[in-house]
């Protein structure tokens, strides 16, 4: 995985830098296990999303509810990866899983 300067900046300026780096390192392993390889741009966008998820978790913020039916085309693999991230961060709504799963589903197409 190659991390761009922009991704490094997101990590280095994160209020939750240590947790974010741990999450990224863990996720690299999870993605490698299922042979999903995000592009540099996909990693940058994903890292930003993970950082925002950590912020919401700490600040007890919730994203707007989503309709799970909108994500019916998302693979079980992508949903499982996203669910793992949501559980790992904790204090997030289930809606986060659906929104995050799109990153993994998109990266599967690479």
Residue 8 has what pLDDT? 94
- 72-86 pLDDT, tens per residue? 999 999 999 999 999
pTM for the whole thing?
A: 0.95
CA separation, residue 102 to residues 9, 15, 19 (Å): 23, 25, 22
pLDDT tier for residue 4 given thresholds of 50, 70 and 90 = confident
- 47-71 pLDDT, tens per residue? 999 999 999 999 999 999 999 999 9
Residue 3 has what pLDDT? 77
Task: Quote the domain boundaries for residue 57.
Answer: 5-109
Domains contained in the chain, number: 1
């Amino acid at each position: 995985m190659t991390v761009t300067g922009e991704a490094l900046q997101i990590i280095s300026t994160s209020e939750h830098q240590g947790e974010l780096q741990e999450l990224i390192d863990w996720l690299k392993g999870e993605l490698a296990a299922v042979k999903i390889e995000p592009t540099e741009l996909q990693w940058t966008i994903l890292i930003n999303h993970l950082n925002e998820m950590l912020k919401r978790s700490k600040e007890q913020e919730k994203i707007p509810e989503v309709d799970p039916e909108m994500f019916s085309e998302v693979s079980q693999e992508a949903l499982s990866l996203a669910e793992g991230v949501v559980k790992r961060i904790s204090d997030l709504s289930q809606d986060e899983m659906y929104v995050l799963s799109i990153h993994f589903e998109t990266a599967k197409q690479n």
